[in-house]
Amino acid sequence: MTLRLFDTQTRTLRDFVPLVAGRASVYLCGATVQGEPHIGHVRSGVAFDVLRRWLLAHDYDVAFIRNVTDIDDKILNKAADAGRPWWEWAATYERAFDSAYQALGVLPPSCEPRATGHITQMVELIQRLIDNGHAYAADGNVYFDVSSYPDYGSLSGHKLDDVHQGESAGEGKRDQRDFTLWKAQKPGEPSWPTPWGRGRPGWHLECSAMAETYLGSEFDIHCGGMDLVFPHHENEIAQAKGAGDSFARYWLHNGWVTMGGEKMSKSLGNVLSIPNVLQRVRAVELRYYLGSANYRSMLEYSDHALEVAAKSYQGIEQFVLKTAERAGDVPMGKWTAEFADALDDDLAVPRALAEVHRVVHEGNRALDSGELAQARDHAATVRAMLNILGVDPLDDQWRGAKDNSEAIAALDGLVRGELDRRQSAKAAKNWAVADEIRNRLGELGIEVTDTANGPEWSLRARS
């Protein structure tokens, strides 16, 4: 079965036919390194790591680029509020994202370019857009003229009359629908020299420039979160094609991690940082959870859902480890046809996991019957499938990892008891007791977040 992927631009499942036979070029919009990564931030990394592993399993030579946005309004504002240099702030949280990806077993990208390292390429791209009549300079700023590009809105479905870029009004902008390519220097902000004056790049510009730099004027797949469809990816297309590039041939977008039905974000205050979550479950269990839904689906977070996923993985893991203990080393086998059909169908991981559990069930029956050779064959098949999903328990990434699930469960039970007592106090309008419980937990490094699904707790990240 040919790999089929849901292309956001055509809104159809399309057979994957690479630009160059035997090669696959992929660009993933990476992190804006403004703060501690939470589980919503890294879902795209996990989801498209499965895509990459599946392409590699089919002997594609994969060029996988994941950028770092290290210059941005949010970075500058947060660094200023903290009284820290912007570059130090960005570097600190770039390391935090790297640690999160590594902890979750996400393969390192072929290259991880930073926006600030590609100012020359951005300036050249702007000049091409000006020369082609798609951009104009005004008061040190440079803007993309949206009305000059007839296909604007082809990715998102937005009509030109309904476009709102969501950016602050800039000096000299002819039309509020236009978006910023280059921002004129402001006092105290970092800047670079250009023919239009000193300044810094707009957010959308960087990805078009870096994708072209590393993957060429046309490449196979562009990935990212569904929140980037508009305006970021729409504007990437306008910039690249306005400059004469063919750009991405397939557009893939992953769904959000939600909490109480809302997108997980720092602004909503419902953030679960990676270090905090890893105090509750092992990294392999968190990866299993984040990768268990179809990549295009919303993933509704709850402590219960995380616990269920962790126990589900532990059942698979126990079978593989028990088989290795009783039947000797378990080699890497080959996945089943049903597993392959599932992943070839737009990375249908839930179906693929159903096949994993079916094989585990058969393997456990073989173990119980003393048929060790058959159990070993099943375990080898399970390993092959889990390897594609990035959670093979015998992989060096996970082998011998300390299982702290019992300690986590004990701590959760204790904290839940306190949260139940707090809920009872709130119901009785005994606010003093409710606040005392929350404050005492806070002193112990346990943060409480009230959500639509009830109170959730997390361990505060160490500074």
Residue 159 lies in a domain: yes
Residues 335 and 453 in one domain: no
Q: What percent of the chain has pLDDT over 90?
A: 79
Q: How far apart are CA 275 and CA 311, in angstroms?
A: 20
- Measuring CA to CA, which residue among 313, 279, 451, 452 is closest to residue 390? 313
How many other CB atoms are there within 10 angstroms of residue 70's CB atom? 23
Residue 274 lies in a domain: no
Indicate the pLDDT class of residue 127, thresholds 50, 70 and 90. Answer: very high
Answer for the pair 457, 419: CB distance below 8 angstroms, yes or no.
yes
Burial class (CB in 10 A: 0-12, 13-18, 19+), 412: middle
Alpha carbon 370 to its chain centroid, in Å, reads 43
Who wins on pLDDT, 163 or 149? Answer: 149
Say what the pLDDT of residue 353 is: 98
Domain that holds residue 332: 299-389
What three-state secondary structure class fits 133? coil
Task: Please check whether residues 105 and 213 belong to one and the same domain.
Answer: yes
Helix, strand or coil, per DSSP, at residue 12: strand
Indicate whether 166 and 24 sit together in one domain. yes
* 141-144 vs 179-184, strand pairing mode: antiparallel
Residue at 66 is within a domain: yes
Q: Give kind and range of the element (H or E) at residue 97.
A: helix 86-103
What is the total residue count of the chain?
463
Measured distance CA(229)–CA(233) in Å, rounded:
5
Same domain, 212 and 318: no
Residue 399 lies in a domain: no
Instruction: Say how far apart CA 228 and CA 155 lie, in whole Å.
Output: 11
Question: Has residue 405 got a pLDDT over 50?
Answer: no
Q: Where are the beta strands (DSSP E) in 162-255?
A: 179-184, 199-201, 218-225, 247-254
- Two tokens, residue 266: 């720092």
pLDDT surpassing 80 at residue 225: yes
pLDDT score, position 413: 76
Those residues whose C-beta lies under 8 Å from the C-beta of residue 378, and which sit 6 or more positions away, are 323, 359, 360, 362, 363, 366
pLDDT at 265: 74
Q: Which of 383, 410, 408 is nearest to 398 (CA)?
A: 383
Are residues 30 and 156 located together in one domain of the fold?
yes
Same domain, 186 and 46: yes
pLDDT of residue 463: 38
pLDDT digits (tens, 9 = 90+) for 186-211: 999 999 999 999 999 999 999 999 99
Are 454 and 441 in contact, with CB atoms under 8 Å apart? no
Give, in degrees to the nearest 5, the angle at Cα 118 between 116 and 120: 120
**pLDDT for 145-154, tens place per residue?**
999 999 999 9
Residue 366, helix vs strand vs coil:
helix
**Mean local confidence (pLDDT), 42-52:** 97
- Please identify, among 389, 418, 450, the residue that sits at the C-terminal boundary of a domain: 389
Say if residue 384 is in the same domain as residue 440. no
Query: 311 vs 404, which has greater pLDDT?
Result: 311
Q: Residue range 375-389: average pLDDT?
A: 98
- Residue 403: pLDDT band (50, 70, 90) is very low
Residue 22 host element (H or E): none
Residue 460's pLDDT is 57
Could you report how far apart the first and last alpha carbons of the chain are, in Å? 49
Q: Taking 90 as the threshold, does the pLDDT of residue 449 lie above it?
A: no
In a domain, 212, yes or no: yes
User: What is the chain's mean pLDDT, rounded?
Assistant: 92
CATH number of the domain at 134, please. Answer: 3.40.50.620
Please, which pLDDT band fits residue 226 given cuts at 50, 70 and 90?
A: very high
Residue 380 is assigned to a structural domain of this protein:
yes
pLDDT tens-digit series, residues 61-110: 999 999 999 999 999 999 999 999 999 999 999 999 999 999 999 999 99
Contacts of 390 by beta carbon, 8 Å cutoff, 6+ apart = 46, 49, 50, 53, 104, 105, 106, 287, 291
Report the run of H or E that residue 235 belongs to, with start and end. Answer: helix 234-242
Q: Is 67 contained in some domain?
A: yes
DSSP string, 32-76: B-SS--BHHHHHHHHHHHHHHHHHHHTT-EEEEEE-BB---HHHH
Q: What is the pLDDT of residue 105?
A: 97
Q: What are phi and psi of 25, to 5 degrees?
A: -110, 125
The tokens describing 312, both together, are 């589900």
Mean pLDDT, to the nearest integer, of 426-440?
90
- Name residue 5's amino acid: L
CB burial of residue 452 (10 Å; 0-12, 13-18, 19+): exposed
Task: Give me the percent of the chain exceeding a pLDDT of 70.
Answer: 94
> pLDDT tier at 396 (50, 70, 90 boundaries)?
very high
218-225/23-28 β-pairing? parallel
Q: Which residues contact 198 (CB under 8 A, 6 or more apart)?
A: 140, 184, 185, 191, 192
* 408 vs 447, more confident: 447
**pTM of the full predicted structure?**
0.85
Are 373 and 455 members of one domain? no
Least confident of 196-210, 327-341, 413-427: 413-427
Total number of domains constituting the chain: 3
Average pLDDT over residues 290-319: 96
Which range, 61-65, 397-401, 411-415, 458-462, has the best average confidence (pLDDT)?
Answer: 61-65
**pLDDT (mean) for 419-444:** 90
The answer to whether residue 5 scores a pLDDT higher than 60 is yes
Residue 285 has a CB neighbour count (10 Å cut-off) of 27
Determine the pLDDT at residue 408. Answer: 57
Assess if residue 322 is contained within a domain.
yes
Question: What confidence tier does 404 reach under pLDDT thresholds 50, 70, 90?
Answer: very low
Q: Which of 20, 17, 448 is nearest to 270 (CA)?
A: 448
Whether residues 103 and 76 share a domain: the answer is yes
Contact criterion met (CB below 8 Å) for 53 and 99:
no
Output DSSP code: residue 449: E
| R_g (Cα) of the chain, nearest Å | 24
pLDDT of residue 400: 67
CATH of residue 304's domain is: 1.20.120.640
Q: Is the peptide bond before 231 cis (omega within 30 degrees of 0)?
A: yes
> What pLDDT does residue 272 have?
86
**Residue 11 CB partners (closer than 8 Å, separation 6+):** none
Q: 414 and 375 share a domain?
A: no
Same domain for 151 and 94? yes
Residue given tokens 């119980």 in the structure block: 368
pLDDT confidence band for 143 (50 / 70 / 90): very high
Q: Is the pLDDT of residue 455 over 70?
A: yes
Residue found under tokens 């106090």: 425
d(C-alpha 340, C-alpha 354), whole Å: 12
Residues 6+ apart with CB under 8 A from 414: none
Judge if 305 and 214 occupy the same domain: no
Which of 236, 259, 275 is closest to 122 using CA atoms?
236
